[in-house]
Copies of this chain bind each other. A is one copy, B any other.
């Protein structure tokens, strides 16, 4: 992997934003209004947002930012490891900021209520090791959006 990113206070939006901007700059990428806004929105929520969601919220702040730009922005941020994306059954891809690069967590989605629950980062470690040994397949647990039924829907 890469060198440990010295994140000071993990949930302080301003610090996260500053780090993200610094990373972009370090990689030779330009700091544009759309990029600032997308990072800002993601840094100030713990929700998992679709591009549509992001576009909507970014629009509320700065008018005229095109949907295609948001798509390109999240693509860029994913490539640089600044945000994670998970693919959901029956729906769009959702995005969320990477706070700790060494502990990106797993997700599960309820097929009844579409809610997303976060799971421990190490949940699939054992399985990953097993799959690597048996099948030579290197699991990326980040993208693994598991599915099932959540506590509430099972009860209801």
Contacts and interface: CB of A to CB of B under 8 A. Distances in A.
A148 B128 CA distance: 10
- In terms of DSSP, what is the predominant structure of the interface of chain A? mixed
A95 to B, nearest CB: 13
A92 to B, nearest CB: 12
B126 A126 contact: yes
A149 B130 contact: no
Contacts of A126: 126-127
A89 B149 contact: no
Given A111-B143, A146-B144, A131 B123 contact: yes
Interface in A58-109: 87-90, 93, 108
Interface stretch (A15-23, A28-36, A132-140): A132-140
Contacts of A24: none
Interface of A: 87-90, 93, 108, 110-111, 117, 119, 123-124, 126-127, 130-131, 135-141, 143-151, 154
Given A110-B137, A137-B149, 11 more contacts: A89-B93, A89-B143, A108-B135, A131-B148, A135-B151, A136-B150, A137-B150, A138-B149, A139-B146, A143-B147, A144-B147
